Protein backbone atom coordinates (compact mmCIF):
# COMPACT_ATOMS: atom_id res chain seq x y z
CA UNK A 1 0.00 0.00 0.00
CA UNK A 2 1.47 3.34 -1.06
CA UNK A 3 1.25 6.01 1.61
CA UNK A 4 0.19 9.57 0.61
CA UNK A 5 3.56 11.03 1.59
CA UNK A 6 5.28 8.84 -1.00
CA UNK A 7 3.23 10.47 -3.76
CA UNK A 8 4.09 13.92 -2.41
CA UNK A 9 7.79 13.09 -2.47
CA UNK A 10 7.53 11.86 -6.07
CA UNK A 11 5.78 15.07 -7.16
CA UNK A 12 8.48 17.14 -5.45
CA UNK A 13 11.24 15.18 -7.20
CA UNK A 14 9.58 15.71 -10.60
CA UNK A 15 9.29 19.47 -9.97
CA UNK A 16 12.95 19.71 -8.95
CA UNK A 17 14.08 17.78 -12.03
CA UNK A 18 11.88 19.93 -14.26
CA UNK A 19 13.34 23.13 -12.82
CA UNK A 20 16.94 21.88 -12.92
CA UNK A 21 16.62 20.84 -16.56
CA UNK A 22 15.45 24.29 -17.61
CA UNK A 23 11.93 23.16 -18.38
CA UNK A 24 10.42 26.12 -16.61
CA UNK A 25 12.46 28.45 -18.84
CA UNK A 26 11.18 26.65 -21.96
CA UNK A 27 7.59 26.92 -20.79
CA UNK A 28 8.12 30.62 -20.12
CA UNK A 29 9.48 31.15 -23.61
CA UNK A 30 6.52 29.32 -25.14
CA UNK A 31 4.11 31.43 -23.10
CA UNK A 32 5.78 34.66 -24.23
CA UNK A 33 5.71 33.53 -27.86
CA UNK A 34 2.01 32.63 -27.69
CA UNK A 35 1.18 35.89 -26.00
CA UNK A 36 2.92 37.90 -28.73
CA UNK A 37 1.35 35.77 -31.48
CA UNK A 38 -2.18 36.13 -30.10
CA UNK A 39 -1.77 39.78 -29.24
CA UNK A 40 -2.07 39.36 -25.48
CA UNK A 41 -0.47 42.51 -24.11
CA UNK A 42 -1.62 42.18 -20.51
CA UNK A 43 1.38 42.41 -18.23
CA UNK A 44 1.49 41.03 -14.70
CA UNK A 45 1.00 44.46 -13.01
CA UNK A 46 -1.96 45.15 -15.30
CA UNK A 47 -3.43 41.72 -14.57
CA UNK A 48 -3.08 42.26 -10.83
CA UNK A 49 -4.54 45.73 -11.13
CA UNK A 50 -7.74 44.28 -12.61
CA UNK A 51 -8.30 42.20 -9.50
CA UNK A 52 -7.47 44.98 -7.03
CA UNK A 53 -10.49 46.41 -5.30
CA UNK A 54 -10.96 50.10 -5.91
CA UNK A 55 -10.73 52.07 -2.65
CA UNK A 56 -14.02 53.35 -1.32
CA UNK A 57 -14.15 56.82 0.17
CA UNK A 58 -16.66 58.18 2.67
CA UNK A 59 -18.55 61.47 2.42
CA UNK A 60 -21.41 62.81 4.51
CA UNK A 61 -24.66 63.98 2.98
CA UNK A 62 -23.92 67.51 4.16
CA UNK A 63 -20.66 67.54 2.17
CA UNK A 64 -22.48 66.33 -0.94
CA UNK A 65 -25.26 68.87 -0.39
CA UNK A 66 -22.77 71.75 -0.03
CA UNK A 67 -21.09 70.65 -3.26
CA UNK A 68 -24.38 70.61 -5.17
CA UNK A 69 -25.41 73.94 -3.64
CA UNK A 70 -22.17 75.48 -4.92
CA UNK A 71 -22.95 74.20 -8.40
CA UNK A 72 -26.51 75.49 -8.16
CA UNK A 73 -25.44 78.99 -7.12
CA UNK A 74 -22.80 79.23 -9.83
CA UNK A 75 -25.09 78.02 -12.62
CA UNK A 76 -27.87 80.33 -11.43
CA UNK A 77 -25.48 83.22 -12.15
CA UNK A 78 -25.08 82.03 -15.76
CA UNK A 79 -21.80 80.23 -15.13
CA UNK A 80 -21.10 77.14 -17.20
CA UNK A 81 -20.99 73.79 -15.43
CA UNK A 82 -17.24 73.56 -16.03
CA UNK A 83 -16.63 76.91 -14.35
CA UNK A 84 -19.02 75.96 -11.54
CA UNK A 85 -17.04 72.77 -10.90
CA UNK A 86 -13.75 74.69 -10.80
CA UNK A 87 -15.18 77.20 -8.34
CA UNK A 88 -16.61 74.41 -6.18
CA UNK A 89 -13.24 72.63 -6.19
CA UNK A 90 -11.50 75.80 -4.98
CA UNK A 91 -14.15 76.48 -2.34
CA UNK A 92 -14.26 72.91 -0.99
CA UNK A 93 -10.57 72.05 -1.36
CA UNK A 94 -10.10 71.96 2.43
CA UNK A 95 -13.22 69.87 3.12
CA UNK A 96 -11.50 66.58 3.84
CA UNK A 97 -11.39 63.64 1.46
CA UNK A 98 -14.35 64.83 -0.59
CA UNK A 99 -12.71 68.18 -1.35
CA UNK A 100 -9.43 66.52 -2.29
CA UNK A 101 -11.08 64.03 -4.63
CA UNK A 102 -13.17 66.81 -6.20
CA UNK A 103 -10.06 68.88 -6.89
CA UNK A 104 -8.21 65.89 -8.35
CA UNK A 105 -11.09 65.03 -10.68
CA UNK A 106 -11.46 68.63 -11.83
CA UNK A 107 -7.74 68.92 -12.56
CA UNK A 108 -7.45 65.54 -14.31
CA UNK A 109 -10.62 65.80 -16.44
CA UNK A 110 -10.40 69.33 -17.81
CA UNK A 111 -10.65 68.11 -21.41
CA UNK A 112 -13.62 65.86 -20.70
CA UNK A 113 -17.29 66.85 -20.35
CA UNK A 114 -17.95 68.32 -16.88
CA UNK A 115 -20.40 65.51 -16.09
CA UNK A 116 -17.42 63.15 -15.99
CA UNK A 117 -16.16 64.90 -12.85
CA UNK A 118 -19.42 64.10 -11.07
CA UNK A 119 -19.35 60.57 -12.46
CA UNK A 120 -15.87 60.09 -10.99
CA UNK A 121 -17.02 61.37 -7.60
CA UNK A 122 -20.08 59.12 -7.68
CA UNK A 123 -17.83 56.11 -8.33
CA UNK A 124 -15.35 57.14 -5.61
CA UNK A 125 -17.97 57.57 -2.91
CA UNK A 126 -20.60 55.16 -4.32
CA UNK A 127 -23.17 57.87 -3.72
CA UNK A 128 -26.75 57.46 -4.91
CA UNK A 129 -27.21 61.21 -4.48
CA UNK A 130 -24.35 62.04 -6.84
CA UNK A 131 -25.72 59.53 -9.35
CA UNK A 132 -29.05 61.36 -9.19
CA UNK A 133 -27.24 64.67 -9.77
CA UNK A 134 -25.52 63.14 -12.79
CA UNK A 135 -28.80 61.89 -14.25
CA UNK A 136 -30.35 65.33 -13.79
CA UNK A 137 -27.43 67.06 -15.52
CA UNK A 138 -27.56 64.57 -18.38
CA UNK A 139 -31.25 65.39 -18.79
CA UNK A 140 -30.33 69.08 -18.81
CA UNK A 141 -27.69 68.45 -21.46
CA UNK A 142 -30.39 66.85 -23.62
CA UNK A 143 -32.44 70.04 -23.29
CA UNK A 144 -35.22 68.56 -21.17
CA UNK A 145 -34.56 70.87 -18.20
CA UNK A 146 -31.99 73.50 -17.22
CA UNK A 147 -28.92 72.86 -15.08
CA UNK A 148 -30.34 75.13 -12.38
CA UNK A 149 -33.57 73.13 -12.21
CA UNK A 150 -31.74 69.81 -12.14
CA UNK A 151 -29.41 70.96 -9.36
CA UNK A 152 -32.28 72.52 -7.37
CA UNK A 153 -34.19 69.24 -7.39
CA UNK A 154 -31.04 67.40 -6.32
CA UNK A 155 -30.50 69.81 -3.41
CA UNK A 156 -34.09 69.29 -2.25
CA UNK A 157 -33.72 65.50 -2.45
CA UNK A 158 -30.44 65.54 -0.50
CA UNK A 159 -31.88 67.81 2.19
CA UNK A 160 -34.85 65.47 2.51
CA UNK A 161 -32.44 62.53 2.91
CA UNK A 162 -30.55 64.47 5.61
CA UNK A 163 -33.82 65.22 7.42
CA UNK A 164 -34.89 61.58 7.25
CA UNK A 165 -31.53 60.49 8.65
CA UNK A 166 -31.77 62.93 11.55
CA UNK A 167 -35.29 61.73 12.40
CA UNK A 168 -34.10 58.12 12.28
CA UNK A 169 -31.23 58.90 14.64
CA UNK A 170 -33.58 60.70 17.04
CA UNK A 171 -35.95 57.72 17.11
CA UNK A 172 -33.05 55.33 17.60
CA UNK A 173 -31.67 57.46 20.42
CA UNK A 174 -35.09 57.53 22.09
CA UNK A 175 -35.34 53.75 22.04
CA UNK A 176 -31.80 53.45 23.37
CA UNK A 177 -32.50 55.81 26.26
CA UNK A 178 -35.75 54.17 27.40
CA UNK A 179 -34.08 51.52 29.56
CA UNK A 180 -31.66 53.92 31.32
CA UNK A 181 -34.55 56.33 31.94
CA UNK A 182 -36.66 53.55 33.47
CA UNK A 183 -33.82 52.63 35.80
CA UNK A 184 -33.15 56.25 36.70
CA UNK A 185 -36.79 57.14 37.39
CA UNK A 186 -38.12 53.94 38.92
CA UNK A 187 -34.89 52.59 40.40
CA UNK A 188 -34.99 54.67 43.60
CA UNK A 189 -38.71 53.92 44.07
CA UNK A 190 -38.06 50.19 43.74
CA UNK A 191 -35.25 50.42 46.28
CA UNK A 192 -37.50 52.22 48.77
CA UNK A 193 -40.21 49.60 48.30
CA UNK A 194 -37.95 46.56 48.48
CA UNK A 195 -35.67 47.76 51.27
CA UNK A 196 -38.16 47.09 54.14
CA UNK A 197 -38.96 43.64 52.72
CA UNK A 198 -35.30 42.74 52.44
CA UNK A 199 -34.62 44.06 55.94
CA UNK A 200 -37.50 41.96 57.35
CA UNK A 201 -36.23 38.83 55.60
CA UNK A 202 -32.77 39.41 57.02
CA UNK A 203 -34.17 39.77 60.54
CA UNK A 204 -36.20 36.57 60.15
CA UNK A 205 -33.25 34.60 58.88
CA UNK A 206 -31.07 35.96 61.69
CA UNK A 207 -33.65 34.96 64.33
CA UNK A 208 -33.59 31.30 63.16
CA UNK A 209 -29.84 30.94 63.59
Tell me the pLDDT tens digit for each residue of 138-181: 999 888 899 999 999 999 999 999 999 999 888 887 677 666 66
* Residue among 152, 146, 102 at smallest CA distance from 123: 102
d(CA 129, CA 27): 52
Q: What are the extents of the domains in the chain? A: 9-51, 61-160
CA separation, residue 205 to residues 12, 191, 192 (Å):
79, 20, 21
Q: pLDDT over 70 for what percent of the chain?
A: 64
| Spatial contact of 98 and 91, defined as CB atoms under 8 Å apart | no
| Spatial contact of 161 and 61, defined as CB atoms under 8 Å apart | yes
Residue 185 has a pLDDT of 67
Tell me the pLDDT tens digit for each residue of 89-132: 999 999 899 999 999 999 998 788 999 999 999 999 999 999 99
In eight-state DSSP terms, residue 1 is -
Residue 18 has a pLDDT of 47
Give the end-to-end CA distance of the chain in Å, rounded to a whole number. Answer: 77
> Whole-prediction pTM value?
0.61
Amino acid sequence: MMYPWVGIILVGVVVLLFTASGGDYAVGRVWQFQRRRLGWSVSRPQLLKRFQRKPRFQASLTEIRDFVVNLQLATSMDQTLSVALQQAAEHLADRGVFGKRLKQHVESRLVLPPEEVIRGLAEDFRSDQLNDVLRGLEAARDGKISNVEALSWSVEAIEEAIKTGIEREINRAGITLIFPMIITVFGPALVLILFPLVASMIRVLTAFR
